[in-house]
Structure 1
């Protein structure tokens, strides 16, 4: 730019990280009516029986760090979905406030064959821009988002 500034573009995301930028939007429902049921269906266990909107990374680690040698195909798929949730929340869309991953991403993993059809590049760029906006608040102490793009 002529003023000496630049910005991260969607093309940058696609070229640098090979994340898809075309396809279905990465959106989730803001309120999952039965989060424990969703967790049992896709992960085989749930952190609680009540209402919750996120999973703690510590819970994912405690429950999926080690895969037993006797694991069947379904248990391997559950561990893969937990690992992908950790990647989404810990690498692609980290939150500056705590160490959790929003549960809204879990339904996107219900069919791993469709996971590549989502525009993950667009999602991480949008989250980064949102985090940059929130960081302009003088009381902000930290920033989240896929900061390697900066």
Structure 2
């Protein structure tokens, strides 16, 4: 029978062989502004109401690095002296309140007529020299949608809600190394706010976190991204002894309700 554990190089080999140890670095973004109170009803409709209120805290990269050393890509679990543990869909929905049932979150990497798409769903476009672009800068989203008029129309509020969800997606839930930008592939999924909650956003968050952990087990890895606030909060909550060792209380859930 084939061995369950593959022989691929693993970051734990460096530690076991007394190699040079280094804590992983982050490439995590964050929410640059808080949602306007006028947006909350629209965010609640989409299922992002709780995620929009995510609290921020300092990440402990020694803890995160230690977890990565014990992550096995074959089983998607952390192998610990006390047994096997892993982040589950239950943890995602408890921490963020995101839907975990429904359609798969997917999109195309190449967006045709991106300028027109932004005008249609955001009411504005970055106005770059080229009409076709693939992502939006967080700085542009903040400058355009942070401050809303008290007399904002419903259409303006809907556009602002879409912009904030875009910020949440790559600012907290699925951040990557894209230099504080969010890909336009998510925007078409927000066209009808009533249908946004029909997508399994929680599954997407967990799948991408799993994929990042698997890739980060390579010995030459330096950076780690994705939803590290979930990973750390989960670890401190599910394994409370870690909170005592790290002298930091866990935050559960991650949102201010």
| TM-score, normalised by the number of residues in structure 2 | 0.54
1:11 and 2:90 matched: yes
The answer (yes or no) to whether the contact 1:97–1:142 under 8 Å persists in 2 is no
CA–CA distance in structure 2, aligned partners of residues 71 and 2 of structure 1: 53
Q: CA deviation at 1:53?
A: 1.2
Which residue of structure 2 aligns with residue 115 of structure 1? Answer: 196
Q: CA deviation at 1:11?
A: 3.0
1:128 and 2:237 matched: no
Q: CA deviation at 1:24?
A: 0.6
Secondary structure of 1:114's partner?
helix
CA–CA distance in structure 2, aligned partners of residues 14 and 70 of structure 1: 34
Q: CA deviation at 1:105?
A: 0.7
Aligned length: 150
| TM-score, normalised by the number of residues in structure 1 | 0.88
CA–CA distance in structure 1, aligned partners of residues 178 and 156 of structure 2: 31
1:26 and 2:105 matched: yes
CA–CA distance in structure 2, aligned partners of residues 33 and 90 of structure 1: 24
Q: CA deviation at 1:70?
A: 3.3
Counterparts in 2 of 1:80 and 1:16: CA distance versus 1, 3 Å: closer
What stretches of structure 1 of length at least 5 have no aligned partner? none
Which residue of structure 2 aligns with residue 80 of structure 1? Answer: 161
Secondary structure of 2:92's partner?
helix
CA–CA distance in structure 2, aligned partners of residues 14 and 29 of structure 1: 26
Deviation per residue, 1:62-87 (Å, 9 max, x gap): 11111123322211111111111111
Deviation per residue, 1:100-144 (Å, 9 max, x gap): 111111111100000111101100001111222332344543222
Match of 1:105 among 170, 186, 211: 186
The answer (yes or no) to whether the contact 1:21–1:122 under 8 Å persists in 2 is yes
Q: CA deviation at 1:97?
A: 4.2
CA–CA distance in structure 1, aligned partners of residues 192 and 124 of structure 2: 18
Residues 103-112 or 135-144, more deviating: 135-144
CA–CA distance in structure 2, aligned partners of residues 139 and 38 of structure 1: 39
What stretches of structure 2 of length at least 5 have no aligned partner? 1-78, 232-257
Secondary structure of 2:182's partner?
strand
